[in-house]
Amino acid sequence: MNLPGMPRISAASMAATMILGVALPGAPHDAQAAGTPVAVVEDADPGRQDLGLFEMLEAGRRIALKDGEVLVLGYLQSCNRETITGGQVVVGARQSAVEGGQVEREIVNCAGGQVALSKDSKGKAGVVVFRKGPKKKKRGAMGKPVTIHVVSPVLRLTQGATVITLRRTDRPEATWDLNVTSNMIDFLAAGVRLSPGGRYDIAAGRRRLTLRVAADAGNGANLFERLVVF
pTM above 0.85, yes or no: no
Average pLDDT over residues 59-82: 96
Domain end call among 107, 138, 167: 107
**Is the residue at 5 inside a domain?**
no
**Is the residue at 68 inside a domain?**
yes
Indicate the number of domains in the chain.
2
**Is the residue at 2 inside a domain?**
no
27-53, pLDDT tens digit by residue? Answer: 443 434 456 789 999 999 988 989 998
3-state secondary structure of 218: strand
**Is the residue at 29 inside a domain?**
yes
Kindly indicate the confidence band of residue 144, based on its pLDDT and cuts at 50, 70 and 90: confident
Residue 55 zone, left/alpha/beta (φ > 0; ψ -120 to 50; rest): beta
In this structure, is the dihedral angle defined by the CA atoms of residues 146, 103, 119 and 54, taken in order, positive or negative?
A: positive
Average pLDDT over residues 183-210: 95
Q: Which residue has the higher pLDDT, 151 or 122?
A: 151
The residue range of the domain holding 207 is: 112-229
Kindly indicate the confidence band of residue 137, based on its pLDDT and cuts at 50, 70 and 90: very low
134 shares its domain with 197: yes
In this structure, is the dihedral angle defined by the CA atoms of residues 65, 113, 227 and 222, taken in order, positive or negative?
A: negative
Query: Which pLDDT score, from 0 to 100, does residue 159 have?
Result: 87
